[in-house]
Amino acid sequence: MANRVRILFALLVFAGFVSGCGCGDSDPATPVDAPDSTSGFMSAQPDDVALREAATTHPGDWLSYGRTYSEQRYSPLSQIDEGNVAELGLAWIYETGTIRGLEATPLVHDGVLYGTGSWSIVFALDAKTGHELWRYDPQVPRSVAASVCCDVVNRGAALYRGRVYVGTLDGRLIALDAKSGEPVWEVQTTDPSRPYTITGAPRVVKGKVLIGNSGAELGVRGYVSAYDASSGELVWRFYTVPGNPEEPFESPALARAAATWKGGRWWEIGGGGTVWDSMVFDPDLDLLYVGTGNGSPWIRTLRSPGGGDNLYLSSILALRPDTGELVWHYQTTPGDSWDYTATQPMILAELEIGGRQRRVLMQAPKNGFFYVLDRETGELLSAEPYVTVTWAKRVDPETGRPVLAEGALYGEATQDILPGASGGHNWQPMSFHRDTGLVMIPAMEMGMAFALDPDFRYRPGASNMGIDTIVASTSIAAGGFGGFLLAWDPVAQREVWRVPHRRPWNGGVLSTAGGLVFQGTGQATFEAFRAATGERLFSTPAGTGVVAPPITYEIDGEQYVSLLAGWGGGYALASADPPDETLASGNHGRLLTFKLGGERKLPTESAPKFSPEAIPVTADAALVKAGFETYHTWCVACHGPSAIGGGTIPDLRMLTPTRYTQFEEILMEGALLERGMPSFEKWLKEEDVDALRAYVLERRQALRVARSAESAPASSATAN
């Protein structure tokens, strides 16, 4: 049963506390002891030609993040089709050994599958058998978890000339030898004294490795960097927002941008605009498109009190890949105050629009409008809402700007707004089903209650969104609530079909020439649909909730479909909406690979059942209330609203009784730091810890009461 009332509306928030990770200095690249670090580099595969021509020359591989440079996630493989997809079965399983979120797109080249997992681990497997060839753990200090808004995830690696490139949660970029998994070079791409992290996949373009970063919830300045793939040297860096205007700007583009920031001292907090996910290269136009994120803080009033568009927040930027020079920009959400990032995956395609063949870029960013841009110029061709949108009335086709709805610019008074901060679509990749011409979007409908935090002050290293997190995480926003696979006609800008899912947070999408669309779901299934109609043709248990996108590849004439299953990501931590299946059997992080007639079975296991022993609640109401507030400031982003866990991080109502006596050690002394539980020594006082314990125990008692009420009538009907 949907637990609507309890569900947190999309608070991809987090309360961070500890800054820095003590993880090395910045620049230059450190060559790691590898005697043959460059030998064979120039001749090894896949090279630039392979990456550029992947669509035609590598039909059975998955060479880069979105399969080809256009990032359509469309595979020409058609052995698995509408007629036989029901015969799909598990070919093999790889246990990643982690229990946190898995978001990566695996890559396949030459019979080897390269994947990444929680804490930025990298693994190479025989793509036919799942046999592990090597595994590389970059040893990310677990204390970094405190600077992560949305789980300790990684969205994938890049392959180039015999190397595997991966960004790590603590801000490093590492080149590994694809054969051995040995590091060749590594470079710190961020300032470790600021709360930067990396979760996105690098891309390789013309001998350069491109990497962005995250951290705008805590307070950083966004940028994208290009490193020489061979040596790890920094080639260029493009900052997405201006720094202190009293200092020289790094580029003319930033001098222009600075005129759109008014008042305030945004550079102290950082300004935001992080490039935390989407980057797409167009070899024909020699343009690199990057999507930028929200502001730091979220609300314009707090970072640019005089108004303005705050360029280049929430924008699509077209850069020259050789120099990082800005060629054009299109801002989807001028003056963003809603966490409406434009970092969502972008797809390049050619579409016939108004009788003309256009080279387009398509994006369904968080703000709820589906954009079709002319990618040569950045001209807006069309933008229509693909989910319910209440912050803007429409996008004006003349100006290319949204027309704000009344109340969209919220202040201290609570405003229910759709989409919420999770967006109408988040990082989960969409795909372009070329044969039907439909874009398949893992969409969601979730409002959120926004209110400015009147007591906002900058706390370096902590969460600095500037919104009232208690309001956001405990109130019920207006509008619908749900998730669905949406087939969208990008030319007519209209919905063609939709398949509703039980929860909003589902997996990315794969399209194939077999007339199919594949998606894993938040209800712990892996499914396939007829691309033309959305008819469900296949569904199988995935063991745990799925958020990652599937890929497909072919080896020895046999087609495989593969995906990571591991419930997680911001929604999973902060939603109190765990899949029942995940709760029942635990969150086992696995790579599942299917083929026709596959006969492997998922292991069946069950998590220990919890029956909370009574612990007397002695605290007074005032202490519980204080605990409620502290909890929803510092704990909600990982342990869930009202202390209801999301299925991956412990539910604080269900601990063994002695645990409640160890709060001091756990919260103040960092007893569980190495397992990803931050220390709050810098932020909390002893009385806060008492209040937190009182609140959590009160919630535990409420759970006991609810459980006994549930089981009372049932107990007469069942034997035990």
CA 238/CA 693 separation, integer angstroms:
45
Binding mask 609-648 toward ligand HEC (x if CB under 6 A, else -) reads: -------------------------xx-xxx---------
**Candidates 153-161, 274-282, 344-352, 655-663; binding stretch for ligand HEC (CB under 6 A):** 655-663
Reading the block at residue 189, the tokens are 């791409």
Q: Which is nearer to ligand HEC, 101 or 365 (CB)?
A: 101
Reading the block at residue 547, the tokens are 């958020």
Cα angle 590, 596, 600 (rounded to 5 degrees) comes to 45
Shortest Cβ distance from residue 689 to ligand HEC (Å)? 8
Q: Which is nearer to ligand HEC, 216 or 635 (CB)?
A: 635
Residues 549-608 that bind ligand HEC (CB under 6 A): none
Q: Which is nearer to ligand HEC, 9 or 680 (CB)?
A: 680
- Answer for which of 7, 10, 15, 697 binds ligand HEC (CB under 6 A) is 15
- Answer for which of 655, 668, 691, 697 binds ligand HEC (CB under 6 A) is 655
Q: Which is nearer to ligand HEC, 365 or 627 (CB)?
A: 627
**Candidates 227-235, 366-374, 528-536, 659-667; binding stretch for ligand HEC (CB under 6 A):** 659-667
Query: 104 and 156 in contact (C-beta within 8 Å)?
Result: yes
Q: Which is nearer to ligand HEC, 218 or 548 (CB)?
A: 218
Shortest Cβ distance from residue 548 to ligand HEC (Å)? 20
Query: 485 and 425 in contact (C-beta within 8 Å)?
Result: no
Distance between alpha carbon 393 and the CA centroid of its chain, in Å?
Answer: 27
- Answer for which of 596, 666, 668, 691 binds ligand HEC (CB under 6 A) is 666
CA 498/CA 500 separation, integer angstroms:
6
Shortest Cβ distance from residue 652 to ligand HEC (Å)? 6
Query: 502 and 523 in contact (C-beta within 8 Å)?
Result: yes
Q: Which is nearer to ligand HEC, 254 or 655 (CB)?
A: 655
| Residue of 339, 416, 468, 577 with catalytic role | 339
Shortest Cβ distance from residue 442 to ligand HEC (Å)? 24
Taking CB under 6 A as the rule, does residue 652 contact ligand HEC? yes
Q: Which is nearer to ligand HEC, 394 or 675 (CB)?
A: 675
Question: Half-sphere exposure (CA, 13 Å, Cβ side) for 181?
Answer: 17
- Which amino acid is present at 427? W
Who's near 94: CB < 8 A, 6+ residues apart? 115, 123, 125, 130, 132, 590, 591, 593
**Candidates 62-70, 301-309, 352-360, 661-669; binding stretch for ligand HEC (CB under 6 A):** 661-669
Q: Which is nearer to ligand HEC, 120 or 292 (CB)?
A: 120
Shortest Cβ distance from residue 577 to ligand HEC (Å)? 17
Shortest Cβ distance from residue 346 to ligand HEC (Å)? 29
- Which amino acid is present at 643? A
- Which amino acid is present at 388? T
Who's near 309: CB < 8 A, 6+ residues apart? 260, 331, 334, 335
- Answer for which of 525, 676, 691, 698 binds ligand HEC (CB under 6 A) is 676
Query: 296 and 219 in contact (C-beta within 8 Å)?
Result: yes
- Which amino acid is present at 401? R
Query: 209 and 229 in contact (C-beta within 8 Å)?
Result: yes
Taking CB under 6 A as the rule, does residue 675 contact ligand HEC? yes
Q: Which is nearer to ligand HEC, 279 or 649 (CB)?
A: 649
Q: How many residues does the chain have?
A: 720
**Candidates 514-522, 616-624, 676-684, 698-706; binding stretch for ligand HEC (CB under 6 A):** 676-684
Shortest Cβ distance from residue 634 to ligand HEC (Å)? 4
CA 589/CA 566 separation, integer angstroms:
4
Shortest Cβ distance from residue 197 to ligand HEC (Å)? 11
Taking CB under 6 A as the rule, does residue 85 contact ligand HEC? no
Is-catalytic flag, 339?
Answer: yes
Cis peptide before 46 (omega within 30 of 0): yes
Distance between alpha carbon 548 and the CA centroid of its chain, in Å?
Answer: 9
CA 238/CA 225 separation, integer angstroms:
6
CA 563/CA 540 separation, integer angstroms:
13
CA 679/CA 16 separation, integer angstroms:
10
Who's near 607: CB < 8 A, 6+ residues apart? 583, 584, 585, 586
CA 122/CA 126 separation, integer angstroms:
14
- Which amino acid is present at 348? L
- Which amino acid is present at 481? F
Query: 379 and 397 in contact (C-beta within 8 Å)?
Result: no
Query: 162 and 46 in contact (C-beta within 8 Å)?
Result: no
Binding mask 222-261 toward ligand HEC (x if CB under 6 A, else -) reads: ----------------------------------------
**Candidates 264-272, 431-439, 481-489, 666-674; binding stretch for ligand HEC (CB under 6 A):** 666-674
Q: How far is CA 340 from CA 71, 405, 454, 643, in A?
A: 22, 15, 21, 27
Shortest Cβ distance from residue 146 to ligand HEC (Å)? 6
Shortest Cβ distance from residue 702 to ligand HEC (Å)? 17
Question: Half-sphere exposure (CA, 13 Å, Cβ side) for 398?
Answer: 1
Q: Which is nearer to ligand HEC, 338 or 680 (CB)?
A: 680
- Answer for which of 135, 659, 682, 704 binds ligand HEC (CB under 6 A) is 659
Q: How many CB atoms lie within 10 A of CB 181?
A: 18
- Which amino acid is present at 285? L
Residue 79 gets the label, from left (phi > 0), alpha (psi -120 to 50) or beta, of: alpha
How many residues form the binding site for ligand HEC (CB under 6 A)? 23
- Answer for which of 121, 649, 694, 697 binds ligand HEC (CB under 6 A) is 649
Residues 135-154 that bind ligand HEC (CB under 6 A): 145-146
Residues 677-696 that bind ligand HEC (CB under 6 A): 677-678, 680, 692
Q: Which is nearer to ligand HEC, 509 or 668 (CB)?
A: 668
- Answer for which of 91, 487, 667, 668 binds ligand HEC (CB under 6 A) is 667
Q: Which is nearer to ligand HEC, 154 or 278 (CB)?
A: 154
Nearest to 99 by CA among 83, 121, 71, 132: 121
CA 510/CA 532 separation, integer angstroms:
14
Shortest Cβ distance from residue 629 to ligand HEC (Å)? 11
Shortest Cβ distance from residue 93 to ligand HEC (Å)? 23
List of residues contacting ligand HEC (CB under 6 A): 15, 145-146, 634-635, 637-639, 649-650, 652, 655, 659, 663, 666-667, 672, 675-678, 680, 692
Catalytic positions, written as ranges: 339
